[in-house]
């Protein structure tokens, strides 16, 4: 199967699933911009062209933030892509502190593809905190997020040197 058609299908799927969602920044930017940024970091900034990883990036928040199920992703995109998304999806039945700790605890055990998506997600989130933070986040909350993101990424070290360098450059701008 050619990579471009499945990536375009994943983008259309994610755009539909996130169509009514907005980011928490002051401008309430369209949520779909976030998965597109992940794909751009992976593809345009570090040269990753693996279709499963790029689709995983585009779809990474569909299960967590929409009514999408892992089974639905399997039906539309196959087991590998669905597994990547599942591995980076937080269990919404856990409390926020439990979810955050679980990300740290399990980051080292997820698949290579999921690690790449997780790294891109943390890079994009830190970049967004610098230019368009969630409305109402003070400096302390931003610092807490930066430090938690670093704790997650520290468990991913050795996965992809260029992505890790991009994360470190973003982390260096910690408020």
* pTM, full prediction: 0.96
User: Which tens digits make up the pLDDT trace of 68-85?
Assistant: 999 999 999 999 999 999
Instruction: Please state, in angstroms and rounded to a whole number, the distance separating the CA atoms of residues 165 and 1.
Output: 32
Q: Are 28 and 134 in contact (CB under 8 A)?
A: no
Query: Region 52-62: what's the mean pLDDT?
Result: 98
What positions carry a catalytic annotation? 64-65
Q: What is the pLDDT of residue 23?
A: 93
The ranges assigned to domains in the chain are: 3-171
Name the pLDDT band for 2 (thresholds 50, 70, 90).
low
Kindly calculate the radius of gyration of the chain based on its CA atoms and give it in whole angstroms.
Answer: 15
Q: Are 26 and 6 in contact (CB under 8 A)?
A: no
Query: Region 33-54: what's the mean pLDDT?
Result: 97
Instruction: Please state, in angstroms and rounded to a whole number, the distance separating the CA atoms of residues 41 and 86.
Output: 20
Topology of domain 3-171 in CATH is Hypothetical protein af1432 (1.10.3210)
């Amino acid at each position: 199967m050619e990579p471009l058609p499945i990536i375009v299908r994943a983008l259309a799927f994610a755009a539909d699933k996130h169509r009514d969602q907005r980011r928490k920044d002051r401008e309430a930017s369209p949520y779909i911009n976030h998965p597109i940024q992940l794909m751009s970091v992976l593809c345009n900034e570090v040269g990753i062209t693996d279709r499963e990883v790029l689709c995983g990036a585009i779809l990474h928040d569909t299960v967590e933030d929409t009514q999408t199920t892992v089974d639905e992703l399997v039906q539309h995109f196959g087991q590998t892509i669905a597994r990547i998304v599942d591995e980076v999806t937080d269990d919404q039945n856990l409390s926020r502190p439990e979810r955050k700790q679980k990300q740290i605890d399990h980051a080292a055990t997820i698949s290579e593809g999921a690690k790449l998506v997780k790294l891109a997600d943390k890079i994009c989130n830190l970049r967004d905190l610098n230019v368009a933070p969630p409305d109402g986040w003070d400096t302390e909350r931003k610092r807490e997020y930066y430090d938690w993101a670093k704790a997650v990424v520290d468990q991913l070290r050795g996965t992809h040197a260029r992505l890790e360098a991009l994360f470190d450059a973003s982390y260096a701008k910690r408020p």
